[in-house]
């Protein structure tokens, strides 16, 4: 067990850039709805609360070109996702069962 208050602390980038900005933004990729969905799923599975899983909103995580993105701590595992099925896979495989989802991970060398 780590010294972290939560077993897993998940941050979803919800940054919104102005239309026409040079870089993309996660908010333009339905990040808000996916964050809310993840929070709901974690509660449904009984994974939320102190010592368990916390789903949070974040501002820009500066990985815009790979977005939408989320990061799971304390591991520092970065993910991208497309839809609710990807979020389900991250929640069940990584957050519930401790197995990171390789196919959705963002290459760590780019961190």
pLDDT tens, position by position, for the chain (111 residues)?
Answer: 446 789 999 999 999 887 777 888 899 889 999 999 999 999 999 999 889 999 999 999 989 888 899 999 999 999 999 999 999 999 999 999 999 999 999 976 544
Instruction: Determine, yes or no, domain membership for 68.
Output: yes
Instruction: Determine, yes or no, domain membership for 98.
Output: yes
Instruction: Determine, yes or no, domain membership for 84.
Output: yes
Instruction: Determine, yes or no, domain membership for 2.
Output: no
User: 62: left (phi > 0), else alpha (psi -120 to 50), else beta?
Assistant: left
pTM exceeds 0.85: yes
Looking at the structure of the chain, the number of domains it has is: 1
CATH number at residue 37: 3.40.30.10
Q: Note down the domain range covering 36.
A: 8-110
Instruction: Determine, yes or no, domain membership for 1.
Output: no
Instruction: Determine, yes or no, domain membership for 3.
Output: no
User: 95: left (phi > 0), else alpha (psi -120 to 50), else beta?
Assistant: alpha
Structure tokens at 50: 């102190």
């Amino acid at each position: 067990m780590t010294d972290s208050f939560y077993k897993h602390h998940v941050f979803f980038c919800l940054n919104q850039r102005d239309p026409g900005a040079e870089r993309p933004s996660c908010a333009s990729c339905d990040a808000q709805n996916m964050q809310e969905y993840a929070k709901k799923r974690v509660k449904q599975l009984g994974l939320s609360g102190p010592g368990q899983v916390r789903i949070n909103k974040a501002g820009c995580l500066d990985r815009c070109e790979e977005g939408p993105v989320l990061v799971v701590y304390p591991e520092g595992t970065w993910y991208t996702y497309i839809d609710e099925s990807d979020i389900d896979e991250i929640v069940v495989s990584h957050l519930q069962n401790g197995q990171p989802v390789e196919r959705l991970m963002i290459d760590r060398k780019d961190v």
